């Protein structure tokens, strides 16, 4: 492979392969009004990195089960993540994206074996992110990173990031060393989220060793593996009674809600059936009620009308937010697809910015 022939633009070009989907998805759509280029579009799952974390990740090979690309390729990919000013803003302008809510690329600091190092690096990342948001207050918002390896320290960092740095929420990239957040030891993190009234973006990463069969599926590592990992994580959180313990907690899921909207009716149906079989009731509400009261979903990497329509239909428009997943996906086809979606002006405003402004307390 000639790595020299690869650049971020070429990677991003992969998104164009899905243009057939956009067309197919919109085939039944009513003609929509033209949406102005300078419309306020907020993309809420946009990743970046800082040199300190990129360096550690490159040295470690990122994660044992991350996609096995050459280090040269990974370095080129990282270039796009490290570019947080002129180049990124230019791409945002070209696509008509007014604002990006940034977060450190998965798995963040969550694969570092040393909790103290992870905690320190998350702190550096958050300082850097806050600096960026201060410099471009109309263009960037930010989700702070934590090291769940040390739940108490993570809770303190959440408080610092929200109250002192003015960031807009928290991101956690699914499992941390194979542990999921339904483990009660992570309670301090949820206590902090609820006390501060900020949402947790549960972002995917490569499946844990407890989902070994979903690891290393060549070509489907992200498309299927990430969703199996993160969807299973959410299934564990819901059934653990997390939202009964924290009724105001808000979770944000990317990538079309990692499959949950597709299964929502079945989850209700089988939940009731299984509770009858085992003869007890483990949750206060129906699964769909948690999804409609505690979960928001974004369109990162899933800006295809059939999927977006389903999300809106089963969750309600006020829980569906726009995201592009830049630089892993190109912003332009995402915006083109969603501009062409048959949404009313009021719903389009909710989808593109109103929901994000409310959820992440962004200035409108």
Tell me which residues in 171-230 interact with a second copy (CB under 8 A).
175, 180, 208, 210-214, 217-225, 227-228
> SS3 of 319, please?
helix
Active site residue 325: yes
Binding a second copy (rule: CB under 8 A), the pick from 80, 148, 231, 327 is 231
Please state, in angstroms and rounded to a whole number, the distance separating the CA atoms of residues 257 and 287: 14
> SS3 of 321, please?
strand
For tokens 């505690």, name the residue: 294
Please state, in angstroms and rounded to a whole number, the distance separating the CA atoms of residues 329 and 333: 9
User: Smaller CB distance to a second copy: residue 82 or 194?
Assistant: 82
Diameter of the chain measured on Cα atoms: 62
Are 347 and 66 in contact, with CB atoms under 8 Å apart?
no
Stretch of residues binding a second copy (CB under 8 A), selected from 39-47, 111-119, 270-278, 349-357: 270-278
Query: Applying CB under 8 A, does 302 fall inside the site for a second copy?
Result: yes
Strands 295-298 and 320-321: parallel
User: Smaller CB distance to a second copy: residue 127 or 268?
Assistant: 268
Between the two ends of the chain, the Cα-to-Cα distance in Å is 47
Residue list 14-53, contact with a second copy (CB under 8 A): 14-15, 17-18, 21, 24-25
Query: Applying CB under 8 A, does 364 fall inside the site for a second copy?
Result: no
Cβ 273 to a second copy, closest distance in Å?
4
Give the strand order in the sheet containing 200-203: 42-48, 99-104, 140-145, 169-173, 200-203, 251-253, 295-298, 320-321
User: Smaller CB distance to a second copy: residue 122 or 235?
Assistant: 235
User: Smaller CB distance to a second copy: residue 1 or 86?
Assistant: 1
Stretch of residues binding a second copy (CB under 8 A), selected from 66-74, 105-113, 129-137, 191-199: 66-74
> SS3 of 252, please?
strand
Cβ 136 to a second copy, closest distance in Å?
28
> Which residues is 48 bridged to in the sheet?
104
Binding a second copy (rule: CB under 8 A), the pick from 134, 270, 284, 346 is 270
- φ, ψ for residue 326, nearest 5 deg: -70, 145
Query: Applying CB under 8 A, does 62 fall inside the site for a second copy?
Result: no
Please state, in angstroms and rounded to a whole number, the distance separating the CA atoms of residues 351 and 318: 7
Strands (E) located in 28-167: 42-48, 99-104, 140-145
Query: Applying CB under 8 A, does 82 fall inside the site for a second copy?
Result: no
Cβ 21 to a second copy, closest distance in Å?
4
> 104: which residues sit within 8 A by CB, 6+ positions away?
47, 48, 49, 50, 53, 125, 129, 145, 171
Query: Applying CB under 8 A, does 328 fall inside the site for a second copy?
Result: yes
Residue list 238-267, contact with a second copy (CB under 8 A): 238-239, 255-256, 259, 261-267
Cβ 299 to a second copy, closest distance in Å?
11
User: Smaller CB distance to a second copy: residue 233 or 353?
Assistant: 233
> SS3 of 362, please?
coil
Stretch of residues binding a second copy (CB under 8 A), selected from 2-10, 31-39, 46-54, 160-168: 2-10
Catalytically annotated residue among 182, 183, 325, 339:
325
Number of residues that bind a second copy (CB under 8 A): 82
Query: Applying CB under 8 A, does 4 fall inside the site for a second copy?
Result: no
Are 299 and 308 in contact, with CB atoms under 8 Å apart?
yes
User: Smaller CB distance to a second copy: residue 137 or 316?
Assistant: 316
Binding a second copy (rule: CB under 8 A), the pick from 34, 36, 280, 363 is 280
Please state, in angstroms and rounded to a whole number, the distance separating the CA atoms of residues 193 and 163: 12
Q: Which tokens go with 6?
A: 């690869």
User: Smaller CB distance to a second copy: residue 38 or 273?
Assistant: 273
Q: Which positions are annotated as active-site residues?
A: 325
């Amino acid at each position: 492979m000639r790595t020299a022939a690869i650049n971020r633009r070429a990677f991003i070009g992969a998104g164009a392969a899905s243009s057939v989907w956009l067309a197919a998805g919109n085939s039944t759509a009513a003609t929509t009004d033209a949406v102005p280029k300078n419309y306020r579009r907020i993309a809420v799952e946009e990743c970046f990195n800082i040199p300190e974390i990129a360096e550690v990740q490159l040295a470690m090979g990122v994660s044992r089960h991350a996609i096995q690309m050459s280090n040269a390729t990974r370095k080129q990919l990282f270039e796009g993540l490290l570019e947080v000013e002129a180049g990124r803003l230019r791409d945002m302008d070209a696509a008509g994206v007014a604002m990006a809510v940034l977060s450190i690329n998965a798995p963040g600091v969550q694969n570092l074996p040393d909790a103290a190092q992870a905690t320190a690096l998350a702190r550096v990342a958050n300082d850097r992110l806050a600096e960026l948001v201060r410099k471009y207050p109309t263009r960037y918002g930010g989700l702070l990173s934590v090291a769940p390896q040390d739940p108490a320290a993570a809770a303190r960092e959440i408080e610092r990031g929200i109250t002192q740095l003015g960031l807009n929420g928290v991101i956690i990239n699914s499992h941390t060393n194979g542990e999921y957040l339904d483990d009660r030891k992570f309670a301090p993190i949820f206590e902090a989220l609820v006390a501060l009234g900020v949402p947790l973006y549960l972002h995917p990463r490569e499946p844990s060793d407890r989902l070994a069969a979903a690891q290393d599926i060549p070509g489907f590592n992200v498309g299927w593996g990430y969703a199996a990992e993160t969807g299973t994580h959410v299934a564990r959180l819901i059934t653990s009674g997390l939202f009964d313990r924290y009724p105001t907690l808000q979770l944000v899921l990317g990538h079309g809600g990692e499959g949950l909207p597709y299964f929502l009716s079945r989850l209700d149906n089988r939940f009731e059936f299984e509770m009858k079989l085992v003869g007890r009731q483990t949750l206060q509400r129906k699964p769909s009620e948690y999804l409609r009261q505690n979960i928001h979903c974004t369109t990162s990497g899933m800006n295809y009308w059939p999927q977006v329509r389903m999300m809106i239909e089963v969750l309600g428009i006020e829980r569906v937010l726009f995201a592009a997943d830049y630089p892993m996906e190109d912003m332009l086809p995402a915006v083109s697809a969603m501009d062409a979606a048959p949404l009313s002006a009021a719903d389009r405003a909710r989808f593109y910015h109103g929901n994000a402004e409310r959820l992440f307390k962004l200035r409108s």
